A = this chain, B = another copy of it.
């Protein structure tokens, strides 16, 4: 990395991370899985599971989402099938949107 001496996050982002961590922890406990067990199954360390459950902003998306998947947590309130469907939808939407945004002439879509 290079410069980030320490970052600042919006309240929304922080709460979202904390919520994700809490949901993972709750789901894990409900299923009777230990931290060590979850760590091993996710292929990460015990400490990282702990930090993810605490909602620390530094943990990687991959580790957090993998842990969530293992404890059966459905991100975005979607089951596996729905998730795949959502993916298609978003991919389609992307195809319809302009592929680059012009900021020069400042043509923001929602100003008129």
Contacts and interface: CB of A to CB of B under 8 A. Distances in A.
Identical chains in the assembly: 2
Given A23-B90, A60-B58, A87-B22, A10 B66 contact: yes
Interface string A38-78: 00000111000000100011111111111011100001110
A103 to B, nearest CB: 5
A38 to B, nearest CB: 10
Contact of A31 (B84, B87, B108): B108
10 contacts: A8-B43, A16-B68, A16-B76, A18-B87, A30-B97, A31-B109, A32-B103, A32-B107, A58-B61, A60-B61
Interface of A: 2, 4, 7-10, 12-13, 15-20, 22-23, 25-26, 28-35, 37, 43-45, 52, 56-66, 68-70, 75-77, 80, 83-84, 86-87, 90-91, 93-94, 97-98, 100-103, 107-110
